[in-house]
C-alpha cells in the first residue's frame, strides 16, 4: 500500500516545519505548498494556523485557500484544520473586539475562553466524541494546546443520510470544542504535531481514514 | 480535569553544543543538543527550551541548525531564547521549527519589540524571560537584571511584568537570580507575587536541586517548572520530577 499524499497548505503561518515532519513520521508523502492543483489533488489537505484569526483569514484568502478547501469538501475530499486552521472553519471569530468572517463551513463563532489565565497553554485531557476515528487508541492521552479563543458551542444539525459528527470537548474556564470530525472535514484545536507520540498516532489515524475515503 | 503541570528542561546552547557553566562563565561542553533533547523527550519532557548563549552573531546560524534538527525528531513544543532582536529573527526561528521565542534584554532596551512580535505572530509565540533579584533599588523590592544577574536595571520586576503582559507577551519565565545555582529550592515568594499579578502562564525557574523542590513551586502558583543543571548532570530525571509532583496530587502528563 502506497503512502497517502498530503499537502500542508503553505500560506505563511507559524511553524509548519513540525507539521510536515510529524505527518512524514505518521506515514504520509508530504508536500508543503500553496499550489492549487497539488492541494486539490492530494489525498488529504492539512491547514495549519497560528496567530490572529483575521491575519490567518487574510493569508488564507491571499493563496485562495478558501476556494481550495471549498472545492475539496464539495467533492468529499478530506481536509483537516489545526488550531486557528480549525477556528477559521466557523462562521466568524471575535478577537479583541474585532469580528472577522470565517470560512463558514460550520455555524457559530470563535470567542475568548472565560478563563483567568490565558493563553490556554499546555497538555490537557479530552472528552472524546463517540465514534471518533482520530482518537482511536489515544482516548485517554493528553494533547498540547496553545490558544486563547475557541468554538464553545456546536449548533449544526445534521440530517440523515449524513452521519452525526463526532465532537470532542476540553475544558479551560469553560467547555470548548477540542476536535470535530464531520464527514471529510476534521479539525483539532490542539496541536497533534506537538503532542508527542499521541499526536503522531492521531495523525496516523487521519491518514488511515484517507485510504478509505 | 485540568491542564497538567509542565516540566521543562532548559539547554544552554553555544556554537551548536550544549554548554554548562555558572552565569555564562567557564562554559564546558555538555553534549549534543539534539541527542539531549531526544533523551528528555523520551523521559517525558512537556516542552524544551533552548537558550542561545553564542557569543557572536555570526555563529547564530548553528543554533538554527540545532533547532531544525531537533524539531525533526522531537514532537513537543520548542522555545528558543537568546539574541532575539527583531520580527525577522522570530520568523527565521519559526521557519526552522521553533514554536515559541523568549525575549529578555532586547525587550528591556526596546519594549516595542514585544508588541511588534505579538501583533505579527500572536501572543502565544512570545515568552518574556525575567531575571529577577531582590534589591532596595525598586519599590517592590524586586529588580530586573541582565547579563545573568550581574547587572541591575532600574526596572521594578513587577512593573515590567505587567507592562510586558499589556504589550502582548503570552507567558512569563521567571528566573530568580537569588535562588539560581543554590539548589536550595525555588523562590516561592517571587512565584506567588508573579502568579498574583499575571494573567498569562508563569514558568518558575532557578533553585531546583531535588525532587521535593518542585511541588511547592506549583503550589505557589507556577504553571510550569524549568530546570537545567539537575537534569544535565543526571542528578534527576524528568520522570522522577513528575512522579514527585503526581505524588502530591498535582496533574502531570504520564
**Residue range A2-50, pLDDT digits in tens:** 899 999 999 987 778 899 999 999 999 999 999 999 999 999 999 998 8
Checking if the pLDDT of B20 tops 80, the result is no
Chain A residues touching residue B128 (CB < 8 angstroms): none
Checking if the pLDDT of A160 tops 90, the result is no
Checking if the pLDDT of B24 tops 60, the result is no
Nearest to B201 among A18, A50, A117 (CB): A117
B27 pLDDT band, cuts 50/70/90, is: low
Q: How far apart are CA B82 and CA B60, in angstroms?
A: 10
Region of A51 please: left (phi>0), alpha (psi -120 to 50) or beta.
left
Checking if the pLDDT of A161 tops 90, the result is no
Checking if the pLDDT of B55 tops 70, the result is no
Pick the catalytic residue: A83, A92, A105, A172? Answer: A83
Q: Which residues of B are annotated as catalytic?
A: 12, 131
Q: Cell for B78?
A: 520548542
Chain B interface disruption, residue of A119, A126, A140, A150, most B CBs within 10 A: A119
| Strands A143-147 and A120-124, sheet pairing | antiparallel
Buried b (16+ CB within 10 A) or exposed e, B110-121: ebebbbebbeeb
Strand residue runs (E) in chain B: 6-14, 17-22, 25-31, 48-52, 78-81, 100-103, 126-134, 142-146, 151-156, 171-176, 202-205, 224-227
Q: Cell for B221?
A: 502558583
Taking all residues of chain B, what is their mean pLDDT, rounded to a whole number?
Answer: 93
Q: How far apart are CA B117 and CA B50, in angstroms?
A: 19
Report the run of H or E that residue A25 belongs to, with start and end: helix A17-26
What number of C-beta contacts closer than 8 Å exist between A and B? 104
Q: How far apart are CA B72 and CA B53, in angstroms?
A: 22
Strand residue runs (E) in B95-179: 100-103, 126-134, 142-146, 151-156, 171-176
Report the run of H or E that residue B120 belongs to, with start and end: helix B112-121
**Beta-carbon separation of B71 and A51 below 8 A:** no
A211 pLDDT band, cuts 50/70/90, is: confident
Contact residues for B154 (Cβ-Cβ < 8 A; gap 6+): B137, B138, B143
Mean pLDDT of A47-68: 94
B56 pLDDT band, cuts 50/70/90, is: low
- Class of the domain covering A5-210: alpha beta
B189 — phi, psi (to 5°)?
A: -65, -45
Give pLDDT tens digits for B170-214.
999 999 999 999 999 999 999 999 999 999 999 999 999 999 999
User: Does A112 participate in catalysis according to the annotation?
Assistant: no
Chain B interface disruption, residue of A22, A51, A172, most B CBs within 10 A: A51
Domain ranges (residues) in chain A: 5-210
Checking if the pLDDT of B168 tops 80, the result is yes
Q: How far apart are CA B79 and CA B48, in angstroms?
A: 6
Nearest to B122 among A18, A50, A124 (CB): A50
Chain B residues touching residue A172 (CB < 8 angstroms): 3
Contact B49, B93 (CB under 8 A): no
Give the model's pLDDT for residue B148: 83
**Beta-carbon separation of B94 and A14 below 8 A:** yes
**Beta-carbon separation of A15 and B97 below 8 A:** yes
Give the model's pLDDT for residue A213: 63
Is residue A183 less than 8 Å (CB to CB) from chain B? no
Nearest to A15 among B2, B46, B99 (CB): B99
**Beta-carbon separation of A123 and B3 below 8 A:** yes
Checking if the pLDDT of B1 tops 80, the result is no
- What ipTM describes this predicted complex? 0.94
**Beta-carbon separation of B97 and A142 below 8 A:** no
Amino acid at each position: 500500500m502506497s503512502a497517502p499524499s498530503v499537502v500542508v497548505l503553505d500560506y505563511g503561518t507559524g511553524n509548519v516545519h513540525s507539521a510536515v515532519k510529524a505527518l512524514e513520521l505518521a506515514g504520509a508523502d508530504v508536500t508543503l505548498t500553496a499550489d492549487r492543483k497539488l492541494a486539490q489533488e492530494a489525498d488529504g489537505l492539512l491547514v495549519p494556523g497560528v496567530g490572529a484569526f483575521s491575519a490567518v483569514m487574510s493569508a488564507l484568502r491571499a493563496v485562495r485557500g478558501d476556494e481550495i478547501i471549498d472545492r475539496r469538501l464539495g467533492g468529499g475530499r478530506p481536509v483537516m484544520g489545526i488550531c486557528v486552521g480549525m477556528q477559521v472553519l466557523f462562521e466568524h471569530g471575535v478577537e479583541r473586539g474585532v469580528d472577522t468572517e470565517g470560512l463558514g463551513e460550520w455555524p457559530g463563532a470563535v470567542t475568548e475562553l472565560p478563563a483567568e489565565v490565558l493563553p490556554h497553554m499546555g497538555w490537557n485531557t479530552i472528552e472524546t466524541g463517540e465514534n471518533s476515528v482520530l482518537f482511536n487508541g489515544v482516548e485517554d492521552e493528553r494533547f498540547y494546546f496553545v490558544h486563547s479563543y475557541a468554538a464553545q458551542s456546536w449548533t449544526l444539525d445534521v440530517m440523515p443520510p449524513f452521519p452525526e459528527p463526532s465532537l470532542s470537548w476540553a475544558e479551560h474556564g469553560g467547555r470548548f470544542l477540542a476536535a470535530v470530525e464531520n464527514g471529510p472535514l476534521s479539525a483539532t484545536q490542539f496541536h497533534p504535531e506537538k503532542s508527542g507520540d499521541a499526536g503522531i498516532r492521531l495523525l496516523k489515524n487521519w491518514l488511515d481514514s484517507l485510504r478509505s475515503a | 480535569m485540568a491542564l497538567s503541570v509542565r516540566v521543562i528542561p532548559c539547554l544552554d546552547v553555544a556554537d551548536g553544543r550544549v554548554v554548562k557553566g555558572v552565569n555564562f562563565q567557564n562554559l564546558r561542553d555538555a553534549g549534543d543538543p539534539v541527542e539531549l533533547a531526544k533523551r528528555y523527550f523520551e523521559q517525558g519532557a512537556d516542552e524544551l527550551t533552548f537558550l542561545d548563549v553564542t557569543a557572536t552573531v555570526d555563529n547564530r546560524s548553528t543554533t538554527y541548525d540545532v533547532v531544525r534538527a531537533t524539531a525533526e525528531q522531537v514532537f513537543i513544543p520548542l522555545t528558543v531564547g537568546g539574541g532575539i532582536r527583531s520580527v525577522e529573527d522570530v520568523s527565521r526561528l519559526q521557519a526552522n521549527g521553533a514554536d515559541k521565542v523568549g525575549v529578555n534584554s532586547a525587550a528591556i532596551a526596546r519594549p516595542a519589540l514585544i508588541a511588534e512580535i505579538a501583533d505579527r505572530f500572536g501572543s502565544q509565540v512570545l515568552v518574556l524571560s525575567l531575571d529577577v533579584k531582590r534589591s532596595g533599588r525598586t519599590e517592590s523590592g524586586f529588580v530586573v537584571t541582565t547579563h545573568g544577574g550581574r547587572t541591575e536595571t532600574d526596572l521594578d520586576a513587577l512593573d515590567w511584568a505587567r507592562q510586558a503582559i499589556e504589550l502582548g507577551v503570552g507567558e512569563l519565565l521567571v528566573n530568580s537570580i537569588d535562588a539560581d545555582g543554590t539548589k536550595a529550592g525555588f523562590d516561592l515568594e517571587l512565584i506567588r507575587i508573579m502568579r498574583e499579578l499575571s494573567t498569562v502562564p508563569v514558568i518558575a525557574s532557578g533553585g531546583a536541586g531535588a525532587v521535593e523542590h518542585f511541588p511547592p513551586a506549583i503550589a505557589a502558583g507556577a504553571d510550569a517548572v524549568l530546570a537545567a543543571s539537575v537534569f544535565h548532570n543526571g542528578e534527576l530525571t524528568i520522570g522522577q520530577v513528575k512522579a514527585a509532583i503526581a505524588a502530591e496530587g498535582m496533574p502531570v502528563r504520564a
